[in-house]
Amino acid sequence: MIELPNQNPCEFCEGMAGRDDTWAVIGECEHTQTVINPSQYEIGQCCVITRRHVGTLLDLSDEECSAIIVAAKRVANALVNAFEPLGVLTFQNNGVYSGQEVPHYHFHVVPRQQGSDWGIGPPQLAVFEGAGRVQGTLHDSSSDGARRARVKVAAHKLHEVAALIRSNLPD
């Protein structure tokens, strides 16, 4: 059984219900909403989120699976147009032991640039020698606070970035 993070109320359900001023929608369809991630480890970092409150990949319908990738491709095109990134990272966490922090399915779409605040990768995955983590040990989160604080962005800025991405969506 995959263990989900505890969060009540769910911040994505709150956002979709219009109760979060940082919630900035880039696109939507019957099954998904694409939003700007409130934590901007990279400028323009987005998430495709299911409209249904479900936890992980294992809970998705086939229709939701298709809709998620279609939405991810669409926003990736917009990110390339808007930011000319060096690359686009997509990833998705299932369960607390994979780094999932919100118990509601989401698929990350991240334009990667030089000078990322992620170092060599998401911190919970860093097991390379010298990266601060020994394989087989729990992630030491004691230094995560400073990184998390650096990537918090004001609501008005998030809406500005979302509008820029929206204006770069393909037809």
Site residues, Zn ion (CB under 5 A): 10, 12-13, 53, 104
Compare residues 12 and 41 and give the one whose CB is closer to Zn ion: 12
Structural element, H or E, at residue 73? helix 62-83
Task: Output the smallest distance, CB 51 to Zn ion, in A.
Answer: 9
Task: Output the smallest distance, CB 129 to Zn ion, in A.
Answer: 38
Task: Select the residue whose beta carbon is closest to Zn ion and give its number.
Answer: 10
Residue type, 58: L
Task: Output the smallest distance, CB 34 to Zn ion, in A.
Answer: 16
Q: What is the DSSP string of 150-163?
A: HTB--HHHHHHHHH
Asked whether 68 and 108 are in contact (CB, 8 A), the reply is no
Task: Return d(Cα 16, Cα 14) in angstroms, integer.
Answer: 6
Compare residues 5 and 121 and give the one whose CB is closer to Zn ion: 5
Compare residues 53 and 139 and give the one whose CB is closer to Zn ion: 53
